[in-house]
Amino acid sequence: MDNITHSIIGFGVGELVHRSLPGEADDSSQRVRHRLLLVSCALASNFPDLDLFLTGLLPDPLGYLLNHRGHTHTALLALPQALLLAALLWLCWPAARALLKTSRPARLGLAASIATGFALHLLMDYTNSYGLHPWYPFDGRWFFGDMVFIVEPLFWVAIGVPLALIMRWRTARWLGFAGLLAALVFFALKGYLGWPSFAVLLLIGLACGAAQWRAGAGGRGGLLLALGVCVGFIAVQGAASHTGRERIDAALRQADPSSRVLDVVMTAFPSQPLCWSYVSVESNEAAGSYRLRRGLAGVAPEWLAPLACPAALAESRTAQALSASVVQFESRQGSLERLRALKHDDCQIDAWLRFGRAPLLDMVKGELSDYRFALTPRGNFTTLHIAPAGACPEGVPGWGYPREDLLAPPH
């Protein structure tokens, strides 16, 4: 997820933890604890992304692909990261240190905020199609949720509105509301967010805000409702992703019965469970080739289909219908023999394949890229230019190959 989302979730959970604990002995201590739990949970919700400073350890694009969402995004290293964050807060915040020495609720709140922040970072990163490998070094496999768009405004609205209401200063409160509304209007006008989704988000914001208002000065009603909305949204997205994948799989098998469908990468649109972008990976061992397709799949009734896909994010090129609810915009083929030989002979490509979920090998351009990111506005950041074999990069992490099923012939 983006770091704005991580931060909003962290602040929301920190506020909820604070309001769930017994009060401190005096107002000053209560205010210190309030700030401590919000800051600690927000920092913990972002802390694993400090691995961006490690991207220079490998040449481009390998440094970003293999070190971001790398070791700091594993369960094993969550504990030392949490201890480091707690130590930094203890050393750098004298008022918090004094409170923690005397207050058991503050210590429990800090532990809960930091632990929950780290856990939520990994869980939220899992929900999109980029993936992570949380169980390394015990299991190097990548796990992909394929459920939620990487920038999801529903989390901003559901959690942000109750947080804005909680703010002590009226100016900050109204700036929070205005910022949320401006972001939604901007996304809708740019075509990143459909107007029906815009209306639903406004209703969710009003509901969570009303619940927090009714809960009173120290209440948790709006925050708890926001948490329920977020969990429910992820569940709906997961069910819709599963339905869409089944429809795509069936359409691909009908379109080419001789190929084996290895994977269907599902990418959500913001606040929209009815329309999905997909990239499929198919293998045909008999022909010695593999195919990548890109298209759209709908899980909406036919009469809702025109409202489902955001105009700026959904491709508008001529589409080939594979079924009533699945269309294809582009199809690319590659040589299994050539891809496997390059993996064996070129250590740069072998390292890249520890990231690539949909490897597109273009021998004309001399490039290897991940087809998932073919439409990234600033260009495909995964592109590796194939060069004569040189020195092998050092310190390549041992992540599993997402396309192990494509790189090795079936037994």
Per-residue pLDDT tens for 30-85? 999 999 999 999 999 999 999 999 999 999 999 999 999 999 999 999 999 999 99
Q: Does 157 map to a domain?
A: no
Residues 58/71, Cβ–Cβ less than 8 Å: no
Query: According to the model, what pLDDT value does residue 301 have?
Result: 61
Residues 99/32, Cβ–Cβ less than 8 Å: yes
Query: What amino acid occupies position 395?
Result: G
Number of domains in the chain: 1
Task: For the chain, give the percent of residues with pLDDT over 70.
Answer: 98
> Whose CA is closest to 184, among 310, 281, 43?
310
Query: According to the model, what pLDDT value does residue 302 have?
Result: 60
Give the confidence band of 303 by pLDDT, cuts at 50, 70, 90.
very low
Half-sphere exposure of 170 (CA within 13 A, CB side): 0
Query: According to the model, what pLDDT value does residue 315 have?
Result: 78
Q: What mean pLDDT comes out for the span 263-292?
A: 95
Query: According to the model, what pLDDT value does residue 53 have?
Result: 92
Residues 122/48, Cβ–Cβ less than 8 Å: yes
Report how far residue 342's alpha carbon sits from residue 410's, in angstroms, rounded to the nearest whole number. Answer: 18
Query: According to the model, what pLDDT value does residue 24 have?
Result: 94
Q: How far is CA 231 from CA 154, 236, 350, in A?
A: 11, 9, 38
Q: What is the pTM of this model?
A: 0.94
Q: Does 98 map to a domain?
A: yes
Q: What mean pLDDT comes out for the span 208-220?
A: 94
Query: According to the model, what pLDDT value does residue 217 have?
Result: 87
Domain hosting 105: range is: 1-126
Task: Give tens-digit pLDDT for 77-121.
Answer: 999 999 999 999 999 999 999 999 999 999 999 999 999 999 999
* Res 307 pLDDT > 60: no
Q: Which residue has the tokens 């795509």?
A: 248
Encoded tokens for 341 = 């030989």
Report how far residue 33's alpha carbon sits from residue 257's, in angstroms, rounded to the nearest whole number. Answer: 62
Query: According to the model, what pLDDT value does residue 305 have?
Result: 52
Those residues whose C-beta lies under 8 Å from the C-beta of residue 319, and which sit 6 or more positions away, are 295, 296, 327, 328, 329
Give the confidence band of 308 by pLDDT, cuts at 50, 70, 90.
low
Encoded tokens for 258 = 């001789």
Q: Does 278 map to a domain?
A: no
Query: According to the model, what pLDDT value does residue 170 have?
Result: 87
End-to-end CA separation in angstroms for the chain: 38
Q: Does 199 map to a domain?
A: no
Give the confidence band of 236 by pLDDT, cuts at 50, 70, 90.
very high
Half-sphere exposure of 78 (CA within 13 A, CB side): 23
Query: According to the model, what pLDDT value does residue 186 have?
Result: 95
Q: Does 404 map to a domain?
A: no
Dihedral angle, C-alpha 311, 314, 315, 320, nearest 10 ° = -120
Query: According to the model, what pLDDT value does residue 142 have?
Result: 97
Residues 96/32, Cβ–Cβ less than 8 Å: yes
Q: What mean pLDDT comes out for the span 152-164?
A: 96
Those residues whose C-beta lies under 8 Å from the C-beta of residue 54, and which sit 6 or more positions away, are 63, 67, 68, 70
